[in-house]
Structure 1
Amino acid sequence: MPQQGMPRHGNEPTMSEQQAPATFRFSTADWPARDRLAIWRESIGRTVIQLDTEPLSDGAFHAEATVLALPGLWLGSWALANLRAAVTRELLDGSDDLVLGIALSGAPIITHRRREATGDTGDAILMSTAEPRVSVYPSLVRFLSLRLPRKALTPFVPNPEDALMRPVPRDIEALRLLTFYADELNRMDRMAAGELQHVVVTHLYDLAALVIGATRDGAAVAENRGLRTARRAAVKADINSHLGDPALTLTAVAARQRLSPRSVQRLFAEQDTSFSEYVLGARLAQAYRLLTDPRWRDRNISSIAFEVGFGDLSYFNRAVRRRYGATPSEIRAMPER
């Protein structure tokens, strides 16, 4: 997996110095076919992401990435196919960061520290930016990469070298939640500024430490902070993706998230709400969006109610009026803003 999470250009701030979020994107599909290899090798490979790259065969190759730079962390979403990518000694940048790669689909073959590992879908592998590495992508591989400063993890993981090139299986909760949390951030169009960025980065440090192997004291801190936040975010995302299901229940959500119903209830109680209150609020918010969306003008009120999971039209009308001080019909009749 590529070493760099973000391009470096001469006097660009180091990862610890960078404060403002920045996003870097590219795709070989956007370049003319006849120039694709030259652009990839020179303009992107060696110059931007500092990799010595070449296709594995004469067939088509593909490379794309979206990389988000946060204070103290670079987060990348990659898709590579028919490529060999090498971090040679000449391309090392003198840093001693850690890179955690998480395969989303496909299986890269990675050689690092005289060891070879295959990152099966869902698994994670830890590497060091201080040493050379070779990654091979025979077919399309999609993966996330997190570049983390070593000093940010040593309070939780005193000897991260022990975890280098030791695949972490996908069924570990911290890895599942780290994958979810990081993937959600990469999908965001904009990243909030200021203190929230540092909170997000801290949560990613917590989850990464648990994946790599935190000490008992470190794990206690990380579980009560980053892990708990990621659990709550995953539960809410699960609910939001099933709003239209009348069978959306606490038991069903808990089962999908591999938690007990009581654990899910506690996550909401910590925010002075409940599972049922959150579901109702999310359904009403979605109903409001549909009622005010011109593309839904031809749908009647009852179909919108059923679309967001209300099985009783009278209850839907009452709930909307209590929340917004207007009936669904009145909301629909409001002038567009």
Structure 2
Amino acid sequence: MHDRAEFDFVTGRGIADPEAQIDVGSVARIGSRLAAWRDVLNIYYYPLDLSSPAALFDVGRLSVHDVASIRIGVLHSDPMTVRRHPTHIRRHSDDFFMMPISASGSLSLSQRGRECEVRPGDLAFIGTGDPYVYVQPTRNSVAAIRLPADMVRSRIPWIDDMTARQCPGEQPLVRVFQDFLRSMIRNSAALSDAEAEFLRRSLFDLLALALTVPGDAAFDETSVRFAHRQRILHFIEEHVCDRDLSSSAIARRLGLSPRYIQRIFAERGETLTEIIRRRRVAEAQQLLRSRSLANRSVEQVCYSVGFQDPAYFSRVFRQETGMSPGEYRRQHAEPAA
């Protein structure tokens, strides 16, 4: 069952017939409205901390609606800074990608050592499985799109490498993705569950194109490279823990030349080695968080995710996460049942 929703990313108009509609001004005194706003976002999204440069945080309104497991919220609020800490991640096991689309002023996102500006119409997102900072410097209306991480990763395995990166709104495929999402929301009432599921998969495919295909390239040539990049990334996903995984091994298995593979990733300022390394670190993070694997040593984790040198593993892990594997385990270990 899908209720009809009317939504406009550009003007920030709210959602018709929302499943939840909250105005903190009606439920809290001025001095406690920021805390009330934080509690609302904790309930309808996930645990986080809030601060605000405003002398008085006075405005906080939220309309929420769910369509095919995608949560769409319209937030109209005073300036705020959102921080997601390791303690929040330990308390909340669900994993999402959060995509804010601004109606007017710019926002900023910071995660995993990356930072990007999000202008009105731009596409960018963060993952809730790692700490992040979201800064909204002015009173603004923001569409906050929450996507289930496992569903997105099943369609876009490399999505974690794209957090806190800007896809400009001028790019045609970014506009196509947002138009498709608007249409999906507006027509949700008429969709069966099977139709909604099909459209969700199509939405994630469009998201993959918007994130991957440069807007200024010839589409025919770029689409071929995009298809090869998908094949490479799927292969990495399936073999990320193999110690022999390398550009030459991938080239041999997929029938591509190493030089061509290098060119595919160089177009985005990446290298295949970096992609493999980040995926192995992400795999190690999952193992280090697991309570059932608490007896496994850091060295064993290193070897199990494809690294061959524990010292190199620790150095790379610190570069990616800002802490050693041991520190990460102590801060992120799942609590006892």
Give me the TM-score of the superposition, normalised by structure 2.
0.50
Shift of 1:164: 1.7
| Greater RCO (CA < 8 Å, at least 6 residues apart) | 2
Q: Which amino acid is the alignment partner of residue 102 of structure 1?
A: I
Question: Residues 37, 165 of structure 1: CA spacing in aligned structure 2 closer, same or farther, 3 A cutoff?
Answer: closer
Query: Does residue 64 of structure 2 align to residue 67 of structure 1?
Result: yes
Shift of 1:190: 4.6
Q: Which amino acid is the alignment partner of residue 135 of structure 1?
A: Y
Q: Which residue of 1 aligns with 2:27?
A: 31
Instruction: Say if 1:66 and 1:186, in contact at 8 Å, map to a contact too.
Output: no
Shift of 1:33: 4.4
Q: Which amino acid is the alignment partner of residue 54 of structure 1?
A: S
Gaps of 5+ in 1: 1-20, 221-337
Separation of aligned partners in 2, 1:196 and 1:141: 33
Query: Does residue 40 of structure 2 align to residue 44 of structure 1?
Result: yes
Instruction: Say if 2:104 and 2:120, in contact at 8 Å, map to a contact too.
Output: yes
Shift of 1:45: 4.0
Q: Which residue of 1 aligns with 2:143?
A: 144
Matches within 5 A, 1:244-259: none
Q: Which residue of 2 aligns with 1:170?
A: 169
Matches within 5 A, 1:256-271: none
Shift of 1:123: 1.0
Cα deviations by residue, 1:120-141 (Å, 9 ceiling, x for unpaired): 1111112111011121212123
Question: Residues 189, 147 of structure 1: CA spacing in aligned structure 2 closer, same or farther, 3 A cutoff?
Answer: closer
Shift of 1:202: 2.4
Q: Which residue of 2 aligns with 1:179?
A: 178
Matches within 5 A, 1:31-180: 31-34=27-30, 36-41=33-38, 43-49=39-45, 50-92=47-89, 93-154=92-153, 156-180=155-179
Instruction: Report SS of the residue matched to 1:147.
Output: strand
Instruction: Report SS of the residue matched to 1:105.
Output: coil
Q: How big is the alpha-carbon RMSD for the aligned residues of Structure 1 and Structure 2?
A: 3.2
Shift of 1:31: 3.5
Instruction: Report SS of the residue matched to 2:103.
Output: strand
Instruction: Report SS of the residue matched to 1:122.
Output: coil
Q: Which amino acid is the alignment partner of residue 26 of structure 1?
A: I
State the identity as a percent. 20
Alignment size in residue pairs: 199
Separation of aligned partners in 2, 1:187 and 1:30: 29
Matches within 5 A, 1:168-247: 168-186=167-185, 190=189, 192-213=191-212, 216=223
Shift of 1:191: 6.3
Instruction: Say if 1:99 and 1:146, in contact at 8 Å, map to a contact too.
Output: yes
Shift of 1:112: 1.5
Separation of aligned partners in 2, 1:38 and 1:155: 36
Separation of aligned partners in 1, 2:28 and 2:153: 45
Question: Residues 185, 158 of structure 1: CA spacing in aligned structure 2 closer, same or farther, 3 A cutoff?
Answer: closer
Separation of aligned partners in 2, 1:27 and 1:217: 48
Separation of aligned partners in 1, 2:35 and 2:87: 20
Question: Residues 186, 76 of structure 1: CA spacing in aligned structure 2 closer, same or farther, 3 A cutoff?
Answer: farther
Shift of 1:27: 2.6
Shift of 1:146: 2.8
Instruction: Report SS of the residue matched to 2:207.
Output: helix
